[in-house]
Structure 1
Amino acid sequence: MRIFVETERLIMRELLPTDEAGMFEMDSDAEVHRYLGNKPVTTRAQVQEVIAFVRQQYVDNGIGRWAVEDKQTGAFVGWSGLKLVAGPTNGRTHYYDLGYRFLRRYWGRGYATETAQAAVRYGFETMQLPLICGIADVRNEASNHVLQKAGLCYGNTFDLDGLPHHWYQRERPA
């Protein structure tokens, strides 16, 4: 198991097939998918496909979302990190997207902000990325806040699948 980043409370590591149960609990929760198109998974096979897809992103792109684990308990709490998006999205192609998703029972603990800030540091310092972007449904106040706390700046509002979303981005500091 490869660990990419450690924060004070969390380990950000490669997503593994053994994360299936946690991923299923998270992605089958309609409330978790409230601002993600309202399409929660219904089978473990769907989760297995997602895990395989993310693991292939590690091979193809050198990056993909990471599992987030509680340091004290070893519990899977969600995923966070960067991924390369081919696009086009909001007129952009081949950009690195910052994202995060957590089991509902772990909401409100600051994990999204903690991991988003760590992922941005990793992207700029380790990967030397020139730009990191993020997208959030305009109604998702919590996610919009996290992207701002991670240092991304509002760019514009655009239509994504018929819904208004905010686009954020941040260039690597000089």
Structure 2
Amino acid sequence: MLPFLDFSNTKNMYLETQRLILRKFEATDVERMFLLDSNPEVMKYIGIPPLTDISESKKVIEMIQQQYLDNGIGRLAVIEKKSGLLIGWSGLKLLTQEINGYNNVYDLGYRFLPESWGKGYAMESAKASLDFGFNDLKADTIYAHAHSENEGSNHILKKLGFTQTGEFTEPDGICFWYELKHENYI
């Protein structure tokens, strides 16, 4: 069960790290979002095929924007300060559909363009999101999941302090389920 939810501080959600800006998605992000979601390497462990039409990315952005309205929270566009470009997305969302027996819990996720891999951006953006979740949203536990073969994502989650507490089967394979309790957050 979720703690008391006060979404008043998510209205203008904006997180900033040393190298990144995490902000709400805008309609103008559609081209970079399509670049991300049409890339087979990015989509390899997602369980859906790469997008083939930019209108699909427009619908994804609209869906995320609706999550902001309905749930007060959703994934955020990640902008690299140095280039000013959207390089992926990261952040928390409220799971409103059951995954692995859980719903109405905060889920951490991230996805980045390959040229941004290996630079610590997933870790940096995830830490900012976890700080927000534990300190601003007062979450007791934050959850995450990753495909069992996605070594990079599983490594990052463990490095962040998440504990694998289960696994479940998706059409494309096994996913690991993770939990991070506030008191265990580094």
State the TM-score, normalizing by the size of structure 1: 0.94
CA distance in 2, matches of 1:99, 1:146: 11
Deviations 1:122-141 (A, max 9, x none): 10001111211000011000
SS of the residue 1:80 aligns to = strand
Q: Residue 61 of structure 2 is aligned with which of 34, 38, 51?
A: 51
RMSD between aligned residues: 1.6
Correspondences of 1:34-73 after superposition (within 5 Å): 34-73=44-83
CA distance in 2, matches of 1:115, 1:131: 18
Q: Residue 129 of structure 2 is aligned with which of 119, 123, 137?
A: 119
Correspondences of 1:88-127 after superposition (within 5 Å): 88-127=98-137
CA distance in 1, matches of 2:14, 2:56: 25
SS of the residue 2:43 aligns to = coil
CA distance in 1, matches of 2:88, 2:27: 14
Residue 180 of structure 2 is matched in structure 1 by 170
Which letter does structure 1 place at the counterpart of 2:24? E
* Superposed structure 1 runs of 4+ greater than 3 Å apart: none
**Preserved contact between residue 91 and residue 126 of structure 2 (Cα < 8 Å):** yes
Unaligned runs of 5+ in 2: 1-10
Is it true that 1:82 corresponds to 2:97 in the alignment? no
Which letter does structure 1 place at the counterpart of 2:35? E
Residue 16 of structure 2 is matched in structure 1 by 6
SS of the residue 2:57 aligns to = helix
**Preserved contact between residue 3 and residue 11 of structure 1 (Cα < 8 Å):** no
**Preserved contact between residue 13 and residue 24 of structure 2 (Cα < 8 Å):** yes
Deviations 1:42-101 (A, max 9, x none): 111100000011011111111000000011221111100000112321111211110000
CA distance in 2, matches of 1:44, 1:7: 29
Residue 161 of structure 2 is matched in structure 1 by 151
Which letter does structure 1 place at the counterpart of 2:31? A
Residue 41 of structure 2 is matched in structure 1 by 31
CA distance in 2, matches of 1:162, 1:37: 6
SS of the residue 1:52 aligns to = helix
Unaligned runs of 5+ in 1: none
Taking every aligned residue pair, what percent have the same amino acid on both sides? 42
CA distance in 2, matches of 1:3, 1:128: 15
